[in-house]
Amino acid sequence: MILHNRVSAEELKRRLAAETFTRLTISFYQYAHIEDPQAFRDQLYEGLFKLAVFGRIYVAHEGINAQISIPAHHESAVRDFLYAFPFMNGIRLNKAVDNNGHSFWVLKVKVREKIVADGIEDPSFNILKRGQYLDAQAFNALTSDPNTVIVDMRNHYEYEVGHFERAIEIPSDTFREQLPMSVEMLQDKKDQPIVMYCTGGIRCEKASAYLLHKGFKNVYHLEGGIIEYTNKAKEQGLPNKFLGKNFVFDARLGERIGPDIISHCHQCGAPCDTHTNCVNDGCHLLFLQCDACATKYEGCCSDECQHILHLPEEEQKAYRAGIDKGNLIFNKAKERLRPRLEELRARMDNGEE
């Protein structure tokens, strides 16, 4: 069996559109020691491919991190297949809040150095020595105490469109930058309860272990992240303390949690929480754009990109040659982040955060 995709993206999208059954978007992770990630990767691909599963899965010696789309009629079979691996037996499978099933159209299973890039090189760090789990009810109770510090361990563009009440932003574009920044920002909060959260739990779990590694004592993290919290709050009739939209790393780019729109279009300033990528192939900047600006700029982030969009294809290709787009995020410049960090420190000192 060929253990990778060989069909074009266009054909895969056509097949997805032609499906007559319902799909579910599910995410899961597990920190565990995997002796042979490549062999495990091949087993996963073969088993999930047979069940028509799409998605993005990372495998490393430290565990597995997955976001997948599965046929609803294969839900039990997928669960049984995953639970057959001893270290994944009984793991939580987070169902997406906005479960339209159109999150992926191809299966990709990749071996990585780590399932979450963290920049940690200290061999004494132990991911299994992590903070205490909080379920939705316990999270609401503990965060109702004004002495509790709530920390968002997601990227700034995720925080921008949605976050929990009173949550502190660690203003960065990468988790590896956030870890040392969180230690620095929370130094004078060591005696207070610290609650960390992220989208599905994988980043805040590692972050809680990192704070404990750095001498913090009273550290908690939200079990299952925003996704599990939202589902459980709805099931149990609990107040949902999350404001805005939850950013997700798939084709949806977000799932609606509640009616709140707490962010603004990056071009005109109107209320907006719709992420998009600039349609100029030499840019693909991730930014917020309202419907009016999407029409005005034809899906581009700027007049310059809109101008390039209308150039002949050969000129566009010449323009793109040699451009290193990197991890393009709107307003990503480090000179913006540093003043924001200082502002946050000042607000925390004044009791405003």
Any idea what DSSP says for residue 106? S
336 in the Ramachandran plot: left (φ > 0), alpha (ψ -120 to 50) or beta?
Answer: alpha
Mark out the alpha helices in 67-185 (DSSP H runs). Answer: 75-83, 136-143, 156-161, 175-185
Query: What beta strand segments (E) does the chain contain?
Result: 23-31, 54-60, 63-71, 94-95, 107-111, 132-134, 149-152, 162-164, 168-169, 194-197, 219-222, 242-246, 255-256, 275-277, 286-288
Query: 283 catalytic, yes or no?
Result: no
* Beta-bridge partners for 26: 68, 95
What is the total residue count of the chain? Answer: 353
- Distance spanning both ends of the chain, measured CA to CA: 55
Whole-number Å distance between alpha carbons of 153 and 172: 10
β-strand 168-169 against 132-134: which pairing, if any? unpaired
Active-site option among 198, 300, 301, 305: 198
DSSP 3-state of 72: helix
* 283: nearest Cα among 267, 313, 258, 304: 304
Report the catalytic residues: 198
